[in-house]
Chains A and B, each alone.
Chain A
Amino acid sequence: MNYNVLILASILLSGVPVAFTQQMQLAPMPSAVRERLSGLVPSPPPLRSTAQEQPAFYGSSNLYQYMDGAADTFQAYDIQALFHQDFKVGPVELTVDIFDMGTLENAFGMYAAERSPKYDFVAIGTEGYRDEGILNFFQDRYYVKLAGFGAGVDPAVRQFAQAISERIGGDKGFPAFLSKLPEARRKPRTEKYLAKDPLGHPFLSPAYQAVYELDAGESILMISVGASAEDAASRMRSLEDHFRHTGHWNPASEFGRGAARGSNSFEGSLVAAVSGHYLLILVNPPSNSATFFRDAAARLQ
């Protein structure tokens, strides 16, 4: 095998192609997108920092080049573009990644997919969290991730984040649909938007969910968003088919008209009912949860 073929093979076999060269986006990335994303980093950059290179841009089709398998989740949330650039601020080296997720919902969904309620949250963007040398936040259609190292990294990361947040602007709101989830007994910062495979079932997407403390344990309340009442009913039938095939499916009228309880050995128990063009699902419903479920369904009417 000659040298050229070896090079070819090494790249084909590599999820992250050769590290000795810099990746640049040649595939069509509209200049308007490049300019919009580049414009989110103030010029000159904060803290008199210096850019270490020209920004690199990635789209959905080549995001693997940047993050290998981690791209799967971003693609599930329909990533539009990624802006990537490294900066140096004194001893601090800083990487700025701005993910354009296309919509507020997808930006929130991607952010929430990586969020844990246990994180150290900061008031930057709509919501953000930090760790040593790391600060991630979402705002509008953007999910912004900053990471760095070196003495004084945390203040530098925070100032960069603030500057980018100001450039993004907007009203910093959460997706409006989250207001349909009941607030009472909701565990803070457990809300999610699931663009794909909610509860492991593609027919339930898209959906919103949050964790609730209804009893000693935790339950998940999910709203699967149908395109119509007929679509919601179809989702219910798919769920019924699944549980009839893998476990049990029985009426649960105490949870409302048409409600049913599904259970099997690997998913446990859930209650589901159609409400308007939504399918409402309560996973791990405690015995005293019927009123909670009916009230949640009423909010959807």
Chain B
Amino acid sequence: MKSLHLWNRRDFIAKPTVWLAASHLLGGSTVLFGQPTQAEPAAPHPEAGGKPICRTLGKTGITLPIVSMGVMNADVPGLIRRSYELGIRHFDSAAHYQEGRNEEMVGSMIKEMSVRDQVIISTKVLRPGWTFGPRAPDQARNYSPAEVKAHFLEVFESSLKRLQMDYVDIFYNHACDSEADIASEGALEALTALKKEGKARFIGVSSHRPEMALREVTKLGVYDVVLTTINYTMANDEGLLKAIDEAANKGIGIIAMKTQAGGFRRPDARAESPLPPASQTAALKWVLRHEAITTAIPGYTRYEQIDQDFPVAFNLAYTPEEREFLSAKNVIAEAQFCRQCGQCRTDCARGVDIPTLMRSHMYAVQYSNRDLARFTLASVETGKGLDACSSCGACKGTCRNYVNIGTKIAQLKALKPDIAV
């Protein structure tokens, strides 16, 4: 059989950009490899009759296998059936996935299998006027709370129709990337009303900004669940890990998304060599070894992805290949992630503010954000910026995180006409 995920290194780096770097940063600690779990049983294959590790979703009382299914990109109904057969019990969709057809597929498969009471179905609705991409606040139309509420209620009803269901188990205020999104009065009114009516058993937010979302939801005390991006890139983010624990202690259910891919930039497009399947399961295990995280929702577009990921629910112990992968220096080097440790400051005879320049580089090259790069570059103290670097190469090889400082500064210099103040 061919290797399961046929990602090459380029694909991989394009998605979870910096996660690998953290493995070195953390020096093989328990943070690096995730929290030790109490449950590391032998690993029966799902079809061998074993039972997956299950966890309870905060105060909801819902108990789920730790590996679920994000249906977002799936357009083959058999993927849902196969997932259910193997033991997956949570299926996550959204009103706008495939313009509603994703919900239709979920609904028809659940109905066909007659398993509504056996599964946990979640869906999500975007706030009115939400569009892809950046939009300055003054460009966005201000919707009144009443309009927002009406929008949520209307779209939710259409979701129920597409799902052919009377209720969903979790209904999310979708893509909340600010505190204001989470605290939206209209959204809160709609979601709490639907919960009261029993049409949404529990309510939550989905967000790509996990720490912000976890803290805001914990503070508000209204939502039951947070669905958020959590992956290995965050291994060194103590703030996030603390927010996860604090939210969990308050009874907030936490579901992880983008555990293996998505939402990250590529620092280096040159790498092409194939990645091992262990990269996928290692990443998934790292997330799930945090016991405050109830389940993860990897997306499947192939049967072999299900066969690869779901066995993780039976055994969170790393294989030697996974452990090796998480520690691989060559992969770390490609990630080229500046941890902002500041060690390099003392290595530069001219006192260049290397960490800030590395941050400028990240914004300019990895995030293609000219404004933020310019802003960051402007914050460098006079005499310690790009002009102070003489390209002497003294910094070469001194970064403990394998960042090629000289190359990045050279790239910044080339970009200077675009980002200099």
Contacts and interface: CB of A to CB of B under 8 A. Distances in A.
B281 to A, nearest CB: 18
A61 interface: yes
Contact of A267 (B78, B237, B367): B78
Interface stretch (B56-64, B128-136, B320-328): B128-136
B391 interface: no
A84 B372 CA distance: 19
B364 A70 contact: no
Nearest to B379: A4
Nearest to B338: A8
Contacts, number: 183
Contacts of A93: 139, 141
A19 B369 contact: no
B372 A197 contact: no
B99 A116 contact: yes
Interface string A225-248: 000000000000000001000100
A32 interface: no
Contact of A65 (B15, B240, B367): B367
B343 interface: no
B76 A11 contact: no
Contact of B132 (A4, A6, A20, A66): A66
Of listed A6, A56, A72, residue having the most chain B CB within 10 A: A72
B258 A15 contact: yes
B127 interface: no
Interface in A2-26: 4-6, 8-26
B265 A9 contact: no
A289 B159 CA distance: 35
A27 B81 contact: no
Of listed B78, B137, B266, B369, residue having the most chain A CB within 10 A: B369
17 contacts: A8-B362, A9-B211, A11-B363, A12-B237, A13-B237, A14-B209, A15-B208, A16-B263, A20-B137, A23-B367, A61-B266, A65-B133, A95-B131, A200-B302, A201-B303, A202-B302, A246-B303
B85 interface: yes
Contact of B73 (A72, A86, A202): A72
A26 B368 contact: yes
B238 A16 contact: no
Interface string B167-180: 00000000101100
A84 B318 CA distance: 43
Contacts of A11: 362-363, 367
A199 B73 CA distance: 13
A292 interface: no
Interface in A55-82: 56, 58, 60-62, 64-70, 72-73
Of listed B79, B133, B137, residue having the most chain A CB within 10 A: B133
Interface of A: 1, 4-6, 8-27, 52, 56, 58, 60-62, 64-70, 72-73, 84, 86, 93, 95, 97, 113-114, 116, 147, 149-150, 196-197, 199-202, 242, 246, 265-268
Contacts of A116: 99-101
A153 B266 CA distance: 37
B418 interface: yes
B208 A18 contact: no
B275 interface: no
A26 B365 CA distance: 7
B81 A200 contact: no
Contacts of A58: 368
B364 A64 contact: no
A19 B85 contact: no
B415 interface: yes
Contact of A84 (B129, B133, B355): B133
Contact of A197 (B178, B302, B369): B302
Given A9-B239, A10-B212, A265-B81, A27 B368 contact: yes
Contacts of B18: 12
Given A19-B134, A72-B299, 7 more contacts: A13-B229, A26-B369, A69-B263, A70-B132, A114-B99, A202-B304, A242-B303
Contacts of A17: 367, 369
B262 interface: yes
B98 interface: yes
Contacts of B371: 21-22, 24
B134 A14 contact: no
Given A15-B258, A23-B134, A202-B6, A64 B265 contact: yes
Nearest to B18: A12
B353 to A, nearest CB: 11
A9 B240 contact: yes
A16 B78 contact: no
Contacts of B219: none
Nearest to A27: B368
Given A8-B340, A266-B82, A267-B78, A14 B359 contact: no
A67 B132 contact: yes
Given A8-B340, A149-B129, A200 B73 contact: no
B415 to A, nearest CB: 6
B301 A14 contact: no
A16 B208 contact: yes
A4 B368 CA distance: 18
Contact of A266 (B78, B210, B364): B78
A178 B287 CA distance: 44
A22 B265 contact: no
A23 B262 contact: no
Given A24-B369, A201-B302, A15 B129 contact: no
A20 B371 CA distance: 10
Contacts of B212: 10
Contacts of A73: 73
B99 A266 contact: no
Of listed A12, A18, A23, A52, residue having the most chain B CB within 10 A: A12
A43 B365 CA distance: 30
A52 to B, nearest CB: 6
Given A26-B418, A67-B133, A12 B233 contact: yes
